[in-house]
Structure 1
Amino acid sequence: MVEAVLFDVGSTLVYPSPSVAETFARVARERGHALTVRDIEPHMPAMDAFYEAEYLRDGDFWCSHEGSVAIWLDQYRYVCHLAGIAHDADGMAAAVHEAYRKGDHWALYPDVAGCLRTLKRQGLMLGVVSNWDAGLEGLLRDLRLLPYFDAVVSSAVVGYRKPDPVIFDLACEELGVAASRVVHVGDRPDADGDGAHAAGIRPVIVDRHGAEAGCGYEVVETLTDVPKLLEE
């Protein structure tokens, strides 16, 4: 019997809104750079690839607040170099990062609130397990999500990051529930799937873009499907 459901945050519950390209262009204009969203948007795949390469090389930056902030800043500095404003990389990166520390630069996917309400009505405990900096709880509060959760475990706070099973163990301990009675929902088979599985938790991958069908774990296309899946 399932007693608790854990959730990843980025690309599972929330996404940047305005987009990084939009925020980057706004900050650039404010700092006197003649750049538009059209100038920045082509560099977004390179920024994503930069993050993936750093994460696969050594993702332990998520294990401290300083390291977590540094990876955000490094991504934005990289875009500055690509966009031809390397001379203002530090200032630009700091300003973009500051914007995303606030809830007004993030949005909930349309299926989030309904899923969380349904799971709560079913009597389940809910928690968050995320590779994020120490500001995660404040961000969830800004987004009015915090009241849904009985536990919020951020990698930067506890010093362990997914897929290390320890971060999942800590969430189960905080909730007071056995791992065998917990489901974890996230978007990354490597971090969310492998980590939850190693901790003895049932992984579910939310695959909004149809890219994870062969990942080896249960897959849902939308969070709306999670309550129904748990009833099966």
Structure 2
Amino acid sequence: MGGLVRGQKPKAVLVDVGGTLIEAVPSPPEVYAETLSRYGPAVSPAEVAPVFTEVWQEMTQEHPLGLDRYHLWKGGERAWWGAFLRRVLERLHHPAPWQEVLDELFATFARPERWRVYPEAFPVLKKLKENGVKVGAVSNWDSRLPQLLHGLGLAPLLDVVVVSALEGVEKPNPEIFCRALQRLGVSAAEATHWGDSPLDDYRGAQACGIFPVLIDRHGLFFDSYVRASHLGEAYELVFG
């Protein structure tokens, strides 16, 4: 594993966003179910959830690993989300008008009130800033993320925000991590990355030579990873 020398404190922390800093509340399948039920037959979150996951995984696998998914669609991110929604509707056999539903959902998930900042996120980010540690968000997200982070009050605590849709590359491609490091003015050996995906965050950061910590909030993974159950624990692990 590349990265920090034992006893060395990082000069920079890179952090994932979804599942690490914030989560959608209600969950996306719950929002989809509520929205679709207003446009046609009632559908439950339990019905939507497996279809949502299946289509997400399917469409993720259809683009080359490490390249931004939205750049591959004529029409960009909105066209990608439109294709995603149409597949969900088809598999649910739901007659909702996809264009109207897309307009509503696209606006819904851009609103800060649809997201919850994990309770330890603000204290940890503030502590990092107070101690002179540079902080950068590195996320596989569409171009709405910077404005969302601003609306959630997180933007002032982040020195850089590196978003896949704006960069043309996605995690686990090490290039997106390297760009964040360059903008922060630190080397890989001076940084750590915290995120909740074993592939995108942990292996991606490792490939760039960054010391990774897996944020495993639900105890799903194995001890082969350097793990923390939340950001506060990650802070103590690295800086304590």
State TM-score, norm by structure 1.
0.88
Match of 1:208 in 2: 217
Instruction: Say how many residue pairs are matched.
Output: 228
Query: Could you list the runs of 5+ residues in structure 2 that have no partner in the other structure?
Result: 1-8
Q: Indicate the larger mover: 60-69 or 178-187.
A: 60-69
Compared CA separation, residues 46 and 83, structure 1 to 2 (3 A): closer
Compared CA separation, residues 10 and 175, structure 1 to 2 (3 A): same
Contact 2:162 2:180 in 1 (8 A): yes
Larger relative CO (CA 8 A, sep 6+): 1 or 2?
2
1:197: Cα distance to partner? Answer: 0.7
Which residue of the other structure, out of 196, 221, 225, is the alignment partner of 2:229?
A: 221
Contact 1:131 1:162 in 2 (8 A): yes
Compared CA separation, residues 86 and 49, structure 1 to 2 (3 A): same
Match of 1:109 in 2: 118
Compared CA separation, residues 161 and 21, structure 1 to 2 (3 A): closer
Amino acid in the other structure paired with 1:12: T
Higher normalized helix content (fraction of residues): 1
3-state secondary structure, aligned to 2:231: coil
Compared CA separation, residues 69 and 204, structure 1 to 2 (3 A): farther
Compared CA separation, residues 207 and 68, structure 1 to 2 (3 A): farther
Alignment partners' CA distance in 1, 2:238 and 2:77:
33
Is 2:46 aligned against 1:41?
yes
1:123: Cα distance to partner? Answer: 1.9
Is 2:69 aligned against 1:62?
yes
Amino acid in the other structure paired with 1:205: L
Once the two structures are superposed, residues 164-220 of structure 1 have per-residue CA deviations (whole angstroms, 9 ceiling, x without a partner) of 111111101110111110111111111111111111111111001111224x33110
1:40: Cα distance to partner? Answer: 3.6
Compared CA separation, residues 209 and 137, structure 1 to 2 (3 A): same
Alignment partners' CA distance in 2, 1:73 and 1:205:
32
Alignment partners' CA distance in 1, 2:69 and 2:184:
22
Which residue of the other structure, out of 19, 23, 31, is the alignment partner of 1:23?
A: 31
Alignment partners' CA distance in 2, 1:28 and 1:197:
41
Contact 1:3 1:182 in 2 (8 A): yes
Compared CA separation, residues 188 and 70, structure 1 to 2 (3 A): farther
Q: Which runs of 4+ in 1 moved over 4 A?
A: none
Alignment partners' CA distance in 1, 2:153 and 2:69:
24
1:63: Cα distance to partner? Answer: 5.6
Once the two structures are superposed, residues 98-138 of structure 1 have per-residue CA deviations (whole angstroms, 9 ceiling, x without a partner) of 21012121111222112212222222110101111111110
Which residue of the other structure, out of 90, 110, 114, is the alignment partner of 2:99?
A: 90
Contact 1:208 1:221 in 2 (8 A): yes
Compared CA separation, residues 194 and 69, structure 1 to 2 (3 A): farther
Alignment partners' CA distance in 2, 1:154 and 1:165:
13
Aligned-residue identity in percent: 32
Query: Could you list the runs of 5+ residues in structure 1 that have no partner in the other structure?
Result: none
Alignment partners' CA distance in 1, 2:62 and 2:41:
35
Once the two structures are superposed, residues 42-90 of structure 1 have per-residue CA deviations (whole angstroms, 9 ceiling, x without a partner) of 2212211221232234253436395444443333333322333245123
Alignment partners' CA distance in 2, 1:28 and 1:56:
26
